[in-house]
Structures are given as structure tokens and as C-alpha cells.
Structure 1
Amino acid sequence: MAIFGEKFYKMLNELKPWQQSLFALTLAQRQSPNFLLYADVTENHEALRDFRNILNTMWEFHTDKENHISLEKLLETLEKHIPEIDDDSPYGAYPALDACISLSQSINAIVNHFGDEAEHASSASICTVAKYLEFTEEAEYQDEELYEKQLIVEEMDYQINLLDRISKARRSPEFTNELRKECEDLGCSNIGIMAD
């Protein structure tokens, strides 16, 4: 979903690997209640624990330069819990999948770095909001119509602000912790699911 203008994606793709990873990680943190609720409802306690652990470990990766974290192992663990979507999937599987995409992109930005990881995370996060609107309002929207929706406007503003801050920031534990705290303080996901 290319809802942002070309300039936004160009700036995203020009970010350094650590910046792309941090952008995706912040979106994943914000989306995390969507996955955690799905794991809770489906009684997948292992997924609940692992997702939280991977999230925390990635924040640690960004705050501790001397870490010995195996990112490949994190990716492997995450991949076990990515919801498989089919025609019978409950709605909750979709935002859970998008949260996994954002988290996996935060790891991939460092491990593989194709240069479009932040863009994939951005798309996953905005797709969550678009699908939520279509699901709750029982409608299908074109991109132009979505621009008029308050939740989409809030999501776009959040991502634009995040990109602006990360693109200007120097890599530091203080900046990383600030982003994490702000995200946690929101208290809910991009579609209003409360954090526990």
C-alpha cells in the first residue's frame, strides 16, 4: 500500500541499516498489542512469550553496542509464530501478521539489509489500520478515501514524525530508550488495542 508520497519512501530507503531497524522496531512495538492479543485469544503462550522476548532483545540490541545477540536465531524463533493466513483465518490474524512483519524487518535490516526493510514495516503498519477500518466499517476503500479517515491520518503523522526523528538522530542508547518509552506510554496499538 503506497499511501505515502514518493519522497517519504525515498527517505526511508536512504536510512542506514540501524535506522531502518529502529524505525521498524518502533512500529513493531506499537503494533505489539495486536499480536499479543491474538496469541492470547488463540492460547498460544509460547508465541506470547517469544514475541515479547524478541521485542525486548531487539531493544537491547540497539542500546548495547557490545551485545552478543544472535539475530539469525531471533528471526528463526519469530518465523515459527507468524500466523498463516487463509480464507478461514479470523480477523485478528491479520494485524498479528503485520506486527510480525514489522518485527522481522527490524531484524532483517541488520542481518540481510536489502535497503527496503523500513518501507516493508511502514506498509505493514498502515495496512493494519486500513484493514481494521474496512473490517469494522464493512467497506472497501481506495487509497484516496483512506486519506479522509482519522486513524489513517494519525498513522501517517506518527510514521512521518518517527522518520524525521530517526533520520536526524545519532545512534545512542538514550535516543533508543526515549523512542521505546514514548511508544510504551501510548498504551495502545495503532488500531486501539490496549497494551497489557
Structure 2
Amino acid sequence: MNKPNNFQRIRELNTVQKASLAAALLERMLPNYTLFSEALEFGEPEVLQNALALCWEKILLPKSKISIEKLVEKIEPNVPEVNDFDVFGVYPAIDAATALLTLLHGIQSKDDQDYVSVCKIAQGTVARVIEYQFEVQEQNYTAKDVNQHPLMEYEIEVLSELIDFVEQMGRVDKDNAKELRKLAIADGQTNIGVEIA
């Protein structure tokens, strides 16, 4: 019931609000990449963190001279290949990097659909974690089990709260963007419930 409601609300936001929401969700996703990177000594998390910081700058100051192409070129070698790693953590890491590239593409092409896609990737990561948990426990599950799982319900709730904040933000400025970033990680965990160090 809740799901289309959130995405419907996202579609009704203006472009800058959508971009801010997508960037806020990335604040919750990128630490998944950092944890993976540190554990497996792969990639440079600071490249992705820097790119996200520059995305915020570009959202707030559209005329700022930031080369999106250069950021994409720096991120691409940092996207892990699923077949190179035998750990589940590779999936949330790939999702975080993919979501960041999608956000950059949206900023560059001014395509609102990319911002909606970031929100879908974030939720997809949560779904994949839940499915993995069921599989590890050798439990059968349905799409309904995934949607009603506490982790997914929580993700939908957080998304809803972030949308509430963005809706009432009005014009996005430095101060409310800062508040939004804080709100995104206020619970001290990533979108898959991992503690942010």
C-alpha cells in the first residue's frame, strides 16, 4: 500500500527537490560501499564521497563549474565487479556506486527520472538484503514477505520522512540541504541497517 504512495509523492516534487532527495538517500548508501571497500581493500571510497559532496554543490549552485564527466571517469574504476568477489557485501557496494552514477547522470542530463531511479535502487538494495537473509535461513519467501519485512518497512518509513522534509523545504538552500543530510543519517545506520562508523 505504502510503496506507490512514496514514489507518487517523489514524482510530484520539483527537479531540485528530487535531486536533493536522491542525494540524501546516497548519504545512507555510500557507507555500505566504504565498509565493503575497507574490508576487501578494493576501490577508493573517498572518490565516491567527494563526488557526492560535489553533487550537493551542483544541486545548490547549478552554475558551479563541476565537470560531471570527470567525476564519472573517476568513479567507474571504483565499481566492483560482482564476479570478482565472493561476498554478499559486493551487491550493496555496487548499488551505492550505481546510484551515485545515476545521480550524476540526472544532474548532467536534467532528467528527473534518474532521481526516481536512485530511490528505486536504494529500496532494491534493501530488498536484496532481505531476500539474502531468507535464503541463508533456507526459508521460502514471497514479494509480500519482503515488503512486510521490518527492514523494508523501516526503509519506506525513512523515505517517507525524507520526502516530508523535502516537500516542506520550499527553495533548497545550503541550510536546509545540511538539515536534510543530517536527517538522512540521523539514525546512525545505512539503508540496510549497518551502523555508520
Aligned equivalent of 1:40: 38
Q: Greater share of helix residues, 1 or 2?
A: 2
Which residue of 107, 111, 115 maps to 1:118? 115
Return the structure number with greater relative CO, CA threshold 8 A, min gap 6.
1
The one-letter code of the counterpart of 1:60 is E
Aligned equivalent of 1:73: 70
> Runs of 5+ in structure 1 lacking a partner?
none
| RMSD of aligned alpha carbons | 2.4
The correspondence of residues 8-157 of structure 1 with structure 2, limited to 5 A, is 8-44=6-42, 46-64=43-61, 67-86=64-83, 89-138=86-135, 139=139, 141-157=141-157
CA gap of 1:164–1:101, structure 2 versus 1, over 3 A, is farther
User: Which has the higher mean CA deviation after the structures are superposed, 120-129 or 61-70?
Assistant: 61-70
Q: Counterpart of 1:116 in 2: which secondary structure?
A: helix
Aligned equivalent of 2:186: 185
User: Which has the higher mean CA deviation after the structures are superposed, 80-89 or 175-184?
Assistant: 80-89
Measured in 1, the distance between the counterparts of 2:101 and 2:158 equals 20
Q: Counterpart of 2:112 in 1: which secondary structure?
A: coil
Q: Counterpart of 2:81 in 1: which secondary structure?
A: coil
- 8 Å contact from structure 1 (residues 134, 140) kept in 2: no
Measured in 1, the distance between the counterparts of 2:78 and 2:32 equals 14
Render the CA deviation track for 1:132-165: whole Å, top value 9, x for unaligned: 1222232453322223211111101111222233
- What TM-score does the superposition give when structure 1 sets the normalisation length? 0.85
Measured in 1, the distance between the counterparts of 2:62 and 2:78 equals 28
Measured in 1, the distance between the counterparts of 2:192 and 2:181 equals 18
- 8 Å contact from structure 2 (residues 7, 116) kept in 1: yes
Identity of matched residues, % = 27
- Shift in Å, 1:36: 0.3
Measured in 2, the distance between the counterparts of 1:79 and 1:15 equals 29
CA gap of 1:29–1:142, structure 2 versus 1, over 3 A, is same
The one-letter code of the counterpart of 2:129 is Y
- 8 Å contact from structure 1 (residues 20, 109) kept in 2: no
Aligned equivalent of 1:4: 3
> Runs of 5+ in structure 2 lacking a partner?
none
Measured in 2, the distance between the counterparts of 1:34 and 1:58 equals 19
CA gap of 1:98–1:22, structure 2 versus 1, over 3 A, is same
- 8 Å contact from structure 2 (residues 59, 107) kept in 1: no
- Shift in Å, 1:184: 3.6
Measured in 1, the distance between the counterparts of 2:84 and 2:76 equals 21
Q: Counterpart of 1:141 in 2: which secondary structure?
A: coil
